[in-house]
Amino acid sequence: MTASIIGWAHSPFGKLPDETLETLMVRTTRDALQHANIGAEDVDEIFVGHFNSGFSKQNLTGGLVLQADPGLRFTPATRVENACASGSAAVHQALRAIESGHAEIALVVGVEKMTDATSDAVKSNLLGASYLPEEGEVEGGFAGLFGQIADLYYARYGDQTDVLAAIAAKNHRNGMGNPWAQLRKDLGIEFCRTESPGNPRVAGPLKRSDCSPVSDGAAAIVIASANVAREAKRAVSFRATAHVQDFLPMSRRDILRFEGCATAWRRALHEAGIALDDLSFVETHDCFTIAELIEYEAMGLAPAGQGARVVQEGWTEMGGKLPVNPSGGLKAKGHPIGATGVSMHAISAMQLCGEAPPDIQVPQATIAGIFNMGGAAVANYTSILERVR
């Protein structure tokens, strides 16, 4: 592939009562264009990752991006949705526009405003990304679904309480160094493994420390063709991408294998002509700690049921053989649904250009892997990024 990320912007993630969808999109759009040194009038197409699903009464949010600059008027703008992978879905649509020759420069904005909703509304809105005829009455919403997955994993492979606690603690340590992260606090393994008033059980064996928070936030990237990227100050190329959609009902799959995730990784690595060992780091979709554990196995770090070894031997820690979620991941950084995939690409591009915040910068990073997931391993998006300049 020849398209490259040439600029980016990232808002803080968290509870942002003074922000709206519009203000978040406008700010990140302006900042990303400035960072890329691109004028609004030079953008050929806009793609917006936005799940919504009832979080906001404002729809047609593709049109909100034009509020950032009059120069964007009449530019094609499309909202893209694929549950929690909406951001990566928008990125992939931008790549198609560029690779097809219909665009030289594409702007991608991911956004979500979740914290205005009540707790019950959040559960209901998110549960819409499940198969409602079979899963729509699960207690606890999406946390309840992943609680069921954790229960099944424990039944098949044994208790993973300490392993999940170590994953949560790792991501919180990493999030301490991320200025955009929602939860910048080192919780420690003992807190994460122990049920307490401050860390209550949420669903199945999952405690609050196992669950990503409800978040507001936005991120934006500018993607350019090879001709434009050649003149840019920085360029991070898409060496490969893959999108794999699996059955929506969990009953039609072995839900502990995340086969869509495994297939997406396999296809992307093959297209890139590299092995997992060639990656400098990975940003993966840790909506719940059990998801990150299964993703270790799906990406090929360990056989099925043996992901605990990855954790116990420190492979995914900063300084380990393959750091995973140096940003803090969804667990600490936050998970504003539509923004997540765009955030993963923006922060990975920062890493590869040596422009990440110092405390999360992976030394001498050259190739990044990204996995963004919608639903329970239903929409699976993988990107392999490599610095050009």
Q: What CATH number corresponds to the domain at position 26? A: 3.40.47.10
User: Is residue 75 a part of any domain in this protein?
Assistant: yes
User: Is residue 86 a part of any domain in this protein?
Assistant: yes
Distance CA 216, CA 112 (A): 6
User: Is residue 212 a part of any domain in this protein?
Assistant: no
The pLDDT, as a whole number, for residue 375 is: 98
Distance CA 357, CA 354 (A): 9
Tell me which DSSP letter residue 316 carries: T
In degrees and rounded to multiples of 5, residue 146 shows phi and psi of: -75, -25
User: Is residue 139 a part of any domain in this protein?
Assistant: no
User: Is residue 71 a part of any domain in this protein?
Assistant: yes
The pLDDT, as a whole number, for residue 43 is: 98
Catalytically active residues are 84, 335
The pTM (predicted TM-score) of the whole model is 0.98
User: Is residue 201 a part of any domain in this protein?
Assistant: no
How many CA atoms does the CB half-sphere of 76 hold within 13 Å? 11
For 61-101, give the DSSP string.
Answer: GGGGGGGG-GGGTT--EEEE-BTBTHHHHHHHHHHHHHHTT
Per-residue pLDDT of the chain in tens (389 residues, 90 and over written 9)? 579 999 999 999 999 999 999 999 999 999 999 999 999 999 999 999 999 999 999 999 999 999 999 999 999 999 999 999 999 999 999 999 999 999 999 999 999 999 999 999 999 999 999 999 999 999 999 999 999 999 999 999 999 999 999 999 999 999 999 999 999 999 999 999 999 999 999 999 999 999 999 999 999 999 999 999 999 999 999 999 999 999 999 999 999 999 999 999 999 999 999 999 999 999 999 999 999 999 999 999 999 999 999 999 999 999 999 999 999 999 999 999 999 999 999 999 999 999 999 999 999 999 999 999 999 999 999 999 999 98
User: Is residue 82 a part of any domain in this protein?
Assistant: yes
Distance CA 6, CA 224 (A): 7
Hey, what amino acid is at 162?
A: D
Distance CA 232, CA 102 (A): 20
Q: Do 230 and 120 form a contact (C-beta atoms < 8 A)? A: no
Structurally, the chain folds into a number of domains equal to 1
User: Is residue 28 a part of any domain in this protein?
Assistant: yes
The pLDDT, as a whole number, for residue 62 is: 96
The pLDDT, as a whole number, for residue 342 is: 99
The pLDDT, as a whole number, for residue 231 is: 95
The pLDDT, as a whole number, for residue 71 is: 98
Name the residue range of residue 28's domain. Answer: 4-117+217-229
Closest to 369 (Cα-Cα) out of 348, 339, 353, 340: 348
Q: Do 83 and 374 form a contact (C-beta atoms < 8 A)? A: yes
